[in-house]
């Protein structure tokens, strides 16, 4: 049974709006962190057996743009899996999908159907808008895509005006598909309710269709959600639990409440184990951590908590404190396709049953998703258009936090036999550039897209090298060039200026220029507005006698890539002496002469690896006593053993 009071919600939302307006002037009440212009009161009932959900919501929305609108737009994300012709499916197919020819199975088909929408208060007189609903596809005109719904209004909502809407809808929950859905009795509900888009200045709606490789964008608000699930099923959600009532029909209704967030996700399953710990760190507000764990991962609870603790500490110290006081960590069920995914005050991690204690991947995921509470949660950039602003910055910060947390002691793990049997490579440790920034991903496709392209228009097969890796690498390059204190100031200033707002790339660049005290535009032009690749190398080192006890040494360095970055060249002589020469890196090559008492034995361009964007670091050095043949022999011998073993494995068939 749905319990709902339109009037109460309308009063609540108008009160919130008034409070926000009042607090901005009087300062007597704690100021809301965000504009709170999109507030939701939701009542949802899950039919676990039928895998459906009936929902009703009241949205109290205020126009905070500088122009009015006569239309409202809503995301209906669940319709991405409504059919095999949606934009999401088409893009998955274009990108190769999960298994080549991407096609949703019957049980993966989902649907969100709005059964009624009414204006119930605010600037517009109460009116039933159901007949005014229509589906639009603003990004690609795909008539089969129903992920965006537009509703015409009888009159415009002017800047500063509000409207209260009462929406009823039903949800057909799919077998787990792209981070949401059900597996067995595990349910994860993400992007599950009709969600209003973002009205931008000029009265233009920013309400994109659901794309295969991008995420979400929404205004901040207050979420007050009641979810009814079978009795005995624990529920975890964005926010904190305010009420719990057992109903006569063997169900339980949970009420969760959260202010100043832009999304709401929840999960329920009778199998969850619950663990709680508290994050306490001098100078930072405490955080109650709640972990919802799969029983088979019970022994890995501390791994989750320690990684979350590390992120809360380092992100808190570097950028700004985590203000919500609670954080829910979901250990998703096997094959839930949840992966690591961020939601406000809640995220999904991911591990394996046999995951070894020294595995860094599961920890890294927790640090990354906790980090999203800052870069996505609090700094609400547009994930459709500028995914790098949250994923890239967070990957960079996440790698730095990993390094600070001592991840270098963890080893690489690979899984065999259907992905179940782990093997630890004790010789391969976590490293910030290779494991944190994912340099290999970037090097494999450094020019696949120009970062300034709207993210939803990236080549769908391969968006991560640019969004995640390239951004992390150029931020890391800036850190090494400017120093961490400057970089920390840039990011903390950006965070402080844009928390609970919607920054755009130009806003980040402006803060970076201002805080670094330099005009970094040429660098941003190369790494963001273009797809330049950086590759410096040493071509040769030669020494010729130049009189008694003197040698004339010549080093030729080259710029093989089209990107330009100032670098240092280090020359080492056979007596151990070294000399450093600065090069602006502009020309295609440079001859460096160095007279010294002994011969030059090696030269390195960018010896401190400032430019971690360099696509080929191997050619950055040249030695006159190369170890290449020895190393090549060693590794070829290892490979030979592998090859012999491969042949013997096949010999079974004869």
Q: Using CB under 8 A, which residues numbered 115 to 174 contact other proteins?
A: none
Q: Please identify, using beta-carbon distances, which residue of 429 and 552 lies nearer to other proteins.
A: 429
Q: How many CA atoms lie within 13 A of 552 on its CB side?
A: 5
> What is the smallest separation between the CB atom of 544 and other proteins, expressed in angstroms?
18
| Binding status of residue 631 toward other proteins by CB under 8 A | yes
Residues 354-393 within binding reach of other proteins (CB under 8 A): 354
Taking CB under 8 A as the rule, does residue 334 contact other proteins?
A: yes
φ and ψ of 640, to 5 deg: -60, -40
If we measure between CA atoms, which residue out of 4, 378, 346, 338 comes closest to residue 164?
Answer: 4
Asked whether the CA dihedral 210, 214, 215, 217 is positive or negative, the reply is negative
Q: Does 241 bind other proteins (CB under 8 A)?
A: no
| C-alpha dihedral (288, 42, 194, 24), degrees to nearest 10 | -70
Total residues contacting other proteins by CB under 8 A comes to 80
Only segment of 5-13, 206-214, 447-455, 641-649 that touches other proteins (CB under 8 A): 641-649
Find where tokens 């100078």 sit: 283
Report whether 432 contacts 484 (CB < 8 A). Answer: no
Cα–Cα distance between 296 and 158 in angstroms, integer? Answer: 54
Among 232, 414, 584, 595, interactor with other proteins by CB under 8 A: 414
| Cβ 295 to other proteins shortest distance, Å | 8
Residues 208-227 that bind other proteins (CB under 8 A): none
**Binding-residue pattern over the window 593 to 622 for other proteins, x denoting contact by CB under 8 A:** ---------x-x----------xxxxxxxx
Q: State the nearest-atom distance from the C-beta of 534 to other proteins, in Å.
A: 13
Distance CA 39, CA 11 (A): 12
Taking the complex as a whole, the smallest distance from the CB of residue 576 to other proteins amounts, in Å, to 15
Nearer to other proteins, 127 or 403 (CB): 403
Q: What CA–CA distance (Å, rounded) separates 162 from 155? A: 12
The verdict on 464 binding other proteins (CB under 8 A) reads no
Q: Which residue has the tokens 């570097």?
A: 318
Least separation in angstroms between residue 262's CB and other proteins is 29
For other proteins, the binding residue among 157, 412, 475, 490 (CB under 8 A) is 412
Tokens of 230: 């079978």
Residue 417 in contact with other proteins, rule: CB under 8 A: yes
Q: Does 440 bind other proteins (CB under 8 A)?
A: yes
Binding positions for other proteins, 27-46, rule CB under 8 A: none
Going by C-alpha positions, the residue among 215, 114, 199, 206 that lies closest to residue 159 is 199
Spatial CA neighbour of 257 closest among 325, 191, 195:
325
Which residue of 123, 387, 439, 557 would you call a contact of other proteins, by CB under 8 A?
A: 439
Of residues 52, 142, 434, 513, which one binds other proteins by CB under 8 A? Answer: 434
Contacts for 364 with CB less than 8 Å, ≥ 6 apart? 307, 398, 402, 407, 430, 435, 436
Query: By CB under 8 A, which span of 35-43, 386-394, 418-426, 559-567 interacts with other proteins?
Result: 418-426
Residues 266-325 that bind other proteins (CB under 8 A): 269, 271, 294-296
Residue 219, both tokens: 């205004």
Dmax (CA) for the chain in angstroms is 101
- Told to check if 587 binds other proteins by CB under 8 A, we report no
437 within 8 A of 418, measured Cβ to Cβ? no
645 belongs to the binding site for other proteins (CB under 8 A): yes
Stretch that binds other proteins, among 3-11, 314-322, 542-550, 636-644 (CB under 8 A): 636-644
């Amino acid at each position: 049974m749905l319990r709902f009071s339109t009037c109460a919600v309308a009063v609540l939302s108008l009160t919130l709006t008034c409070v926000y307006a009042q607090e901005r002037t009087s300062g007597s009440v704690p100021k809301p962190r965000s504009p709170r212009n999109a507030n939701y009161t939701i009542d949802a009932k899950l039919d676990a057996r039928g895998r459906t959900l009936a929902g009703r919501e009241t949205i109290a929305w205020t126009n905070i743009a500088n122009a009015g609108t006569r239309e409202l737009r809503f995301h209906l994300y669940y319709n991405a899996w409504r059919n095999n012709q949606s934009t999401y499916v088409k893009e998955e197919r274009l990108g190769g999908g999960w298994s080549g020819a991407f096609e949703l199975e019957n049980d993966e088909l989902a649907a969100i159907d709005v059964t009624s929408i009414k204006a119930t208060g605010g600037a517009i007189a109460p009116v039933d808008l159901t007949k005014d609903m229509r589906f639009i596809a603003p990004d690609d005109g795909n008539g089969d895509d129903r992920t965006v719904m537009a509703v015409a209004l009888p009159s415009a909502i002017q800047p500063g005006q509000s409207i209260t809407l009462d929406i009823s809808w039903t949800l057909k929950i799919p077998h787990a598909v792209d981070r949401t859905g059900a597996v067995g009795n595990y349910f994860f509900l993400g992007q599950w309710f009709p969600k209003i888009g973002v009205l931008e200045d000029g009265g233009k709606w920013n309400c994109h269709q659901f794309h295969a490789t991008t995420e979400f964008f929404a205004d901040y608000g207050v979420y007050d959600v009641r979810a009814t699930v079978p009795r005995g099923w624990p529920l975890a959600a964005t926010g904190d639990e305010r009420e719990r009532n057992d109903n006569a029909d063997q169900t339980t209704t949970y009420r969760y409440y959260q202010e100043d967030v832009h999304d709401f996700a929840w999960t329920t399953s009778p199998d969850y184990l619950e663990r709680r710990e508290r994050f306490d760190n001098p100078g930072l507000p405490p955080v109650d951590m709640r972990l919802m764990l799969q029983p088979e991962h019970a022994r890995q609870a501390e791994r989750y908590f320690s990684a979350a603790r590390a992120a809360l500490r380092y992100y808190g110290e570097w950028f700004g404190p985590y203000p919500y006081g609670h954080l829910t960590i979901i250990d998703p069920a096997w094959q839930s396709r949840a992966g690591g995914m961020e939601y406000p005050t809640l995220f999904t991690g991911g591990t394996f049953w046999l995951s070894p204690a020294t595995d860094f991947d599961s920890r890294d995921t927790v640090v990354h998703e906790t980090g999203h509470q800052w870069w996505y949660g609090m700094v609400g950039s547009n994930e459709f258009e500028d995914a790098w602003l949250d994923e890239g910055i967070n990957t960079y910060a996440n790698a730095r936090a990993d390094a600070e947390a001592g991840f270098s002691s963890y080893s690489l793990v690979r899984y065999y036999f259907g992905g179940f049997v782990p093997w630890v490579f004790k010789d391969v440790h976590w490293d910030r550039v290779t494991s944190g920034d994912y340099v290999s991903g970037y090097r494999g496709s450094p020019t696949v897209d120009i970062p300034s392209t709207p993210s939803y228009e990236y080549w769908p097969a391969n968006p991560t090298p640019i969004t995640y890796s390239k951004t992390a690498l150029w931020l890391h390059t800036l850190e090494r060039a400017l120093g961490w204190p400057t970089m920390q100031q840039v990011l903390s200033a950006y965070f402080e200026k844009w928390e609970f707002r919607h920054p755009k790339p130009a806003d980040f660049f402006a803060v970076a220029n201002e805080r670094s005290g330099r005009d970094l535009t040429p660098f941003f032009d190369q790494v963001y507005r273009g797809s330049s690749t950086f590759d410096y190398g040493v071509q040769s080192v030669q020494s010729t006698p130049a009189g008694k006890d003197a040698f004339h040494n010549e080093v030729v360095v080259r710029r093989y890539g089209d990107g330009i970055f100032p670098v240092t060249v280090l020359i080492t002589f056979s007596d151990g002496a070294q000399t450093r020469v600065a090069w602006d890196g502009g020309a295609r090559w440079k001859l460096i002469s160095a007279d010294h008492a002994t011969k030059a034995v090696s030269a390195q361009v960018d010896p401190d690896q400032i430019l971690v964007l360099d696509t080929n670091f191997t050619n950055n050095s040249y030695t006159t006593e190369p170890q290449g043949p020895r190393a090549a022999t060693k590794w070829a011998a290892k490979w030979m053993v592998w090859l012999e073993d491969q042949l013997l494995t096949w010999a079974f068939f004869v």
